[in-house]
Amino acid sequence: MGNTIFSKIINKEIPADIVYESDTILAFKDIRPQAPVHALIIPKIEIPKVSDIKGKEHAQLLGEMIDAANKIARDTGISEDGFRLVFNCGANGGQDVYHLHMHLLGGRQMKWPPG
Ligand code: AMP
Whether residue 84 lies inside any domain: the answer is yes
How many residues appear in the chain? Answer: 115
Active site residue 101: yes
> How many Å apart are CA 37 and CA 103, to the nearest integer?
10
Give the total number of structural domains in the chain: 1
Reported as a pLDDT band with limits 50, 70 and 90, residue 1 is: low
Whether residue 113 lies inside any domain: the answer is no
Contacts of 62 (CB under 8 A, 6+ apart): 53
Q: Is the CB of 13 under 6 A from ligand 1?
A: no
Kindly give the number of the ligand 1 atom that is closest to the alpha carbon of 97: 4
- Residue-averaged pLDDT of the chain: 97
Whether residue 112 lies inside any domain: the answer is no
User: pLDDT digit string (tens) for 82-102?
Assistant: 999 999 999 999 999 999 999
Question: Domain containing 93: what range?
Answer: 5-106
- Asked whether the whole model's pTM tops 0.95, one would answer yes
> How many Å apart are CA 42 and CA 45, to the nearest integer?
9
Instruction: Identify the pLDDT of residue 115.
Output: 83
Q: Is the CB of 66 under 6 A from ligand 1?
A: no
Instruction: Out of 38, 99, 101, 103, pick the active-site residue.
Output: 101
User: Which amino acid, 104?
Assistant: L
